[in-house]
């Protein structure tokens, strides 16, 4: 757990560095991008790699893999990489007009509003990460690798011209095949493609195999025991344990073998040409249903289309944040100061305003330094390890081990500790909806505010925000 505490200190340090220019504001558009080098998708243009939840970009309809064609009417092909970044962040402009293209559109215009906050402001989604040990069930960042092999045609063909699809074989009596086809269809429709059974641009061919390994020799007992394999389960919307062996394990150690994949075949230009293919070869320690595999892994495989980043062993990152939102941004230098309040937020509706001083949250005093808060937080972490379930052990995205969820039988003890004044945990309200934080079940917090010479108590009805992203890392 020492590494966990180190990560908290580093996080605090990074916030402090950001806060040094206190008269400045920092603005964001709510997405990340990279310049594509793929001859099949947006070569030389910005391709969206992530869209932040609850951002203006998400509200505008921007999607991962969208290609930016113009910025405020200027074609990106006329701009250098530096000029593209500058064009997106002109200080005098509060909105940026983009023309984007994807598998559904070639000339879609969207306007994204900049979201600006003081550079000394720390938001509740950042605090949720900083205090994630209150609720690892809700907030964590984890990674995993899938043994996929993705093959793309060597010809510089623009995948954007292929907009419709059909399946090469449809057997309604074969429930496995129907499940696989349904999963692929769902993902392609989400990307903007449509099914056309008469004249499709792409023909989809699937293949699959599962059986005992004829070359199975048993587990190598000399090798050090590996951690269990966790991956994101799209049906449960969380990380779960799968009976797969590590992708670098020898095939002879696997009692079962599973193969699953599909390919996209050209029907538009040169019929029969394979444009894209993704194949998975899994090593298993026990039996596993192919239908279940399809539901959880076809969405992951489809993340490599139309923009391919890796040819094999695809790394994924799962970023989960479920926290209570009031709309308050705190001053990182003095956390009791309100740096900013989002309009139309619960806090703003309750009467909280910038420059207010928060004296207490749910009875916990706020007149402490950030160092004091985090010292108490470190003490809380070490003092509550006994209430965690060792069977839920996992490693986070930064490689820190010894992360565990709360033991469900110890929720009341954890809640009592968080409610005690000694724990100095006003930011526990971020997880107030959870029984291991607030056993009463009410999701409202009392803020004692000082404004000039006036004191007031405000009850803020907390809003649960859920941020869940699964991305190729």
Q: Are residues 30 and 50 in contact, defined by beta-carbon separation less than 8 angstroms?
A: no
Give residue 342's pLDDT: 96
Q: Which of 14-18, 219-223, 330-334 has the lowest mean pLDDT?
A: 14-18
Cα gap 66→307, rounded to integer Å: 10
Interatomic CA distance for residues 245 and 392, integer angstroms: 18
Q: pLDDT value at position 221? A: 56
Counting residues of the chain whose pLDDT is more than 90, the rounded percentage is: 82
Tell me what pLDDT residue 225 has: 58
pLDDT at residue number 3: 42
Query: Measured between alpha carbons, how far is 393 from 238 in angstroms, rounded to an integer?
Result: 15
Task: Report the percentage of the chain scoring pLDDT > 70.
Answer: 94
Round the CA-based radius of gyration of the chain to a whole number and report it. Answer: 25
pLDDT for 209 equals 96
pLDDT band with cut points at 50, 70 and 90 for residue 281: very high
Q: Per-residue pLDDT averaged across 314-342, rounded?
A: 96
Q: 288 near 243, Cβ under 8 Å?
A: yes
- Measured CA to CA, the distance from residue 415 to residue 74 in angstroms comes to 55
Whole-number Cα distances in Å, 440 to 313, 362, 419: 46, 13, 11
> Does residue 306 have a cis bond before it (omega within 30 degrees)?
yes
The tokens of 415 are what?
């809640």
The pLDDT value recorded for residue 226 is 65
Distance, CA of 417 to CA of 156 (rounded, Å): 61
Given a cut of 80, whether residue 331 has pLDDT beyond it is yes
162 alpha carbon, distance to own chain's centre: 28
- Whether the pLDDT of residue 248 is over 90: the answer is no
* Secondary structure of residue 51 in the 3-state scheme: strand
* Contact between residue 465 and residue 324 where contact means Cβ atoms under 8 Å apart: yes
Supply 249's token pair: 């394990």
User: Rounded to an integer, what distance in angstroms lies between the CA atom of residue 269 and that of residue 326?
Assistant: 54
What single DSSP character describes residue 387?
Answer: G
Q: Alpha-carbon distance 368 to 455, whole Å?
A: 19
291-300, 337-346, 435-444: least confident range: 435-444
- 3-state SS, residue 155: coil
CA distance 182 to 16: 49
Q: Which stretches of 100-174 are DSSP H helices? A: 124-130
pLDDT tops 50 at residue 4: no
Q: What stretch of H or E contains 299? A: helix 290-302
Count CB neighbours of 433 within 10 A: 19
What does the mean pLDDT of the chain come to?
91
Tokens of 59: 């509200």
pLDDT tens sequence across 151-173: 999 999 999 999 999 999 777 78
Cα angle: 274, vertex 280, 283; to 5 degrees: 155
**Among candidates 266, 218, 267, which has minimal Cα distance to 245?**
218
Q: Are 77 and 87 in contact (CB under 8 A)?
A: no
**Lowest model confidence (mean pLDDT) among 38-47, 68-77, 421-430:** 421-430
pLDDT band at 316 (very low <50, low <70, confident <90, very high): very high
What does the pLDDT look like over 21-51, one tens digit per residue? 335 888 999 999 999 999 999 999 999 999 9
Beta strands at 194-195 and 164-167: parallel, antiparallel or unpaired: parallel
**Token pair recorded at residue 191:** 């990307």
Q: How high is the pLDDT of residue 120?
A: 92
Identify the three-state secondary structure at position 253. helix
Place of tokens 């070569």: 43
Packing angle of the helix pair 370-383, 411-419 (nearest 10 deg): 150
Give pTM, 2 decimals.
0.90
> Looking at residues 394-415, what average pLDDT do you find?
93
pLDDT of 106-151, one tens digit each?
Answer: 999 999 999 999 999 999 999 999 999 999 999 999 999 999 999 9
Predicted confidence at residue 327, as pLDDT, reads 98
Is the peptide bond preceding residue 174 cis, with omega within 30 degrees of 0?
no
Dist CA 81 CA 172 (whole Å): 50
């Amino acid at each position: 757990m020492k590494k966990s505490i180190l990560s908290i200190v580093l996080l605090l340090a990074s916030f402090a560095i950001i806060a040094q220019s206190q008269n400045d504001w920092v603005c964001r558009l709510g997405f990340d991008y990279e310049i594509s080098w793929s001859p099949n998708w947006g070569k030389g243009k910005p391709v969206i790699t992530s869209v932040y939840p609850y951002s203006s970009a998400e509200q505008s309809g921007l999607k991962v893999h969208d290609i930016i064609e113009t910025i405020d009417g200027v074609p990106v092909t006329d701009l250098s990489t530096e000029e593209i970044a500058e064009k997106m962040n002109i200080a005098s402009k509060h909105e940026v007009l983009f023309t984007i293209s994807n598998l559904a559109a070639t000339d879609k215009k969207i306007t994204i509003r900049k979201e600006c906050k003081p550079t000394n402001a720390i938001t509740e989604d950042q605090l949720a990460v900083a205090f994630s040990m209150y609720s690892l069930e809700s907030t964590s960042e984890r990674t995993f690798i899938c043994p996929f092999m993705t093959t793309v045609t060597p010809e510089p063909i623009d995948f954007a011209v292929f907009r419709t699809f059909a399946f090469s074989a449809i057997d309604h009596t074969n429930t496995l095949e129907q499940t696989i086809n349904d999963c692929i269809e769902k993902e392609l429709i989400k990307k903007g493609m449509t099914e056309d059974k008469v004249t499709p641009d792409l023909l989809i061919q699937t293949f699959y195999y599962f059986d005992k390994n004829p070359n199975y020799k048993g587990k190598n007992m000399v090798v050090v025991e590996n951690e269990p394999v966790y991956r994101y389960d799209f049906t449960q919307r969380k990380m779960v344990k799968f009976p797969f062996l590590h992708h670098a394990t020898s095939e002879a150690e696997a009692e079962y073998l599973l193969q699953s994949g599909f390919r996209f075949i050209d029907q538009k230009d040169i019929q029969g040409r394979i444009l894209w293919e993704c194949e998975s070869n899994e090593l298993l320690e026990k039996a596993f249903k192919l239908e279940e595999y399809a539901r959880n892994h076809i969405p992951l495989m489809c993340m490599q289309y139309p923009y391919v980043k890796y040819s094999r062993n695809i790394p994924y990152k799962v970023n989960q944040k479920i926290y209570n939102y009031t709309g308050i941004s705190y001053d990182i230098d003095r956390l009791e100061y309100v740096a900013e309040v989002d309009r139309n937020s619960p806090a703003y509706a309750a009467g909280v305003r910038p420059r207010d001083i928060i004296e207490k949250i749910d009875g916990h005093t706020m007149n402490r330094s950030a160092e004091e808060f985090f010292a108490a937080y470190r003490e809380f972490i070490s003092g509550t390890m006994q209430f965690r379930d060792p069977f839920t052990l996992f490693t986070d995205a930064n490689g820190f081990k010894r992360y565990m969820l709360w033991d469900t039988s110890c929720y009341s003890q954890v809640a009592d500790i968080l409610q005690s004044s000694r724990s100095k945990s006003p930011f526990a309200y971020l997880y107030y909806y959870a029984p291991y934080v607030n056993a009463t079940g009410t999701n409202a917090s009392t803020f004692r505010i000082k404004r000039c010479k006036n004191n007031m108590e405000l009850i803020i009805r907390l809003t649960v925000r859920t941020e869940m992203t699964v991305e190729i890392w």
